[in-house]
Amino acid sequence: MGHIAAVYTNGSTCLKNSNFQNHARIIFLCDNEIGMGKPVLMEDDECYFIFEWRTSFVCPVKLISHTKFTFSNNTDNRRNVYFNLFSLQKTGTKLYYEMTDGNSSYFLNVCATLEISHLANCKDSTVFKVEGNNVHNYGVAVSRKITFDGQRLKLTFYDGDPCPSHSETNLTSEVLFVCNPFVGRGEPVLHK
């Protein structure tokens, strides 16, 4: 299995040779048993420092066998990784995430369809936009693609309303998930 490394350059002036600036490399190694772990200095030539940091935070999630896909979970068999988005499902009276941008509101539910009764054309939608009296479906729950590039999980929802500028194609939306173990559940951020 590979590793993740962070390289830091342009540090302070090296004491050994004032023509160089200090720089460092931190090599992160997966260790499921250690939790956060600590960096350990492995090499020091007084200008270049190499650290090794064993931590569980860089470990891929282990495959859970016999799991069926729902809107909330998926398995990437090529990478032996299992994703469960169920904790992102909203509960209570507001079963969706809402983001605003000027006069527009965007509604999102990654684990189910958006069931807002007064918006008929978005019955099967997972993402839609409301701007004044106009409602646009940006993708339906049953028409989706899940991809994982080794760092980010991406949900793409297809078969929304026809594009206003190209009626032969339909609106789509992408939801990108970036892992940050210190944020908790987090909230969606709108990017156009």
Average pLDDT (57-79) is 55
Task: Supply the pLDDT for residue 96.
Answer: 80
What is the distance between the alpha carbons of residues 106 and 24, in angstroms, rounded to a whole number?
A: 43
Residue 10 CB neighbours (<10 A): 7
Mean pLDDT of 96-116: 80
Q: What is the DSSP letter of 125?
A: B
Q: What is the mean pLDDT of the chain?
A: 78
> Which domains are assigned to the chain?
4-55 (2.70.130.10), 70-178 (2.70.130.10)
Query: Which is higher by pLDDT, 122 or 185?
Result: 185
**Which pLDDT band holds residue 84 (cuts at 50, 70, 90)?**
confident
- Taking the C-alpha atoms of residue 70 and residue 5, their distance in angstroms, rounded to an integer, is 34
Residue found under tokens 């206003």 = 164
Q: 172 is written with which tokens?
A: 């789509």
Give the DSSP H or E segment for 83.
Answer: strand 81-84
Q: Compute the average pLDDT of residues 157-174.
A: 86
71 or 39, higher pLDDT: 39
pLDDT at 152 over 50: yes
In angstroms, rounded to a whole number, what is the distance separating the alpha carbons of residues 58 and 189?
Answer: 24
Tell me which residue of 146, 106, 143 sits closest to 124, measured CA to CA. Answer: 143
User: Each residue of 20-49: pLDDT tens digit?
Assistant: 999 999 999 888 778 788 999 999 988 999
pTM: 0.56
- Residue 132 tokens read as 């004044």
Q: What pLDDT score does 67 carry?
A: 37
Nearest alpha carbon to residue 7 among 40, 51, 41, 39: 51
CA distance 39 to 54: 7
Burial 131-157, CB ≥16 within 10 A → b, else e: eeeebbbbbbbeebebebeeeebebeb
For residues 108-118, give the mean pLDDT.
68
- CB distance 51 to 39 below 8 Å: yes
User: Does position 1 have pLDDT exceeding 60, yes or no?
Assistant: no
